[in-house]
Amino acid sequence: MSSSEKSIGIPLIGDKFPEMEVKTTHGMIKLPDDANEGGKWWFILFSHPGDFTPVCTTEFVAFAKRNKQFQELKCRLIGLSIDQVFSHIKWAEWIKENLKVEIPFPIIADHGQVSQTLGMIHPGKGSNTVRAVFLVDPNGIIRLILYYPQELGRNMDEILRIVKAIQIADREKVAMPANWPNNELLGDEVIIPPASDIKTAEENPKKYDCYDWWFCHKKL
């Protein structure tokens, strides 16, 4: 971590999401409390470099088309860029009128403070924000942080997969293999945490399929 990151205090995975009140296209919102709704909901805060730009437009359409799937996972979407709220509103109107897609989630109008707090400012790009993704659980804890360069649009199906996988890992107390649910070795099975004592190491191969005592897996 650089000295600048330390001085700014950029949050990390496992940290509490910083408390803040933000102006959005849906009105004022207090984060993380309003988004979590009393510990009931997850939320994804994602930033984009700017309104009325091609890659960001494709991303917003992609997020909007998957909003119902995120909602089914009890996960809200919240966008952000350093643009004024009227710019967000006009851009959302343009997307609806020209691309026939309605943006159902709020977009934060940031003056730079939120982006600075979360480390979203793109190095060497002035006030533009990176394509950041923060996944926050119902307890307000940051569970995942992703950063994409300005020229690369995000894969929304991967972000959906992340939410599903982390929720299952939490609920079942398991770990998820690479490319889950299409892992090359395990398919859609999940990984049992490695034994931390001799008794468990001896018992796990009797209860689960195992490559070895430290590598056991099961079906959900």
What pLDDT is attached to residue 7?
A: 42
CA-CA-CA-CA dihedral for 56, 64, 120, 144, to nearest 10: -130
Q: Which of 43, 97, 102 shows the shortest CA–CA distance to 74?
A: 43
Residues 52-94 pLDDT 10s: 999 999 999 999 999 999 999 999 999 999 999 999 999 999 9
Task: Find the DSSP H helices in 9-102.
Answer: 33-36, 54-65, 67-72, 85-99
Alpha-carbon dihedral sign for residues 208, 212, 214, 220: negative
**Catalytic positions:** 56
Domains within the chain, CATH numbers bracketed: 3-153 (3.40.30.10), 173-220 (3.30.1020.10)
pTM comes to 0.92
Residues 130-153 pLDDT 10s: 899 999 999 999 999 999 988 999
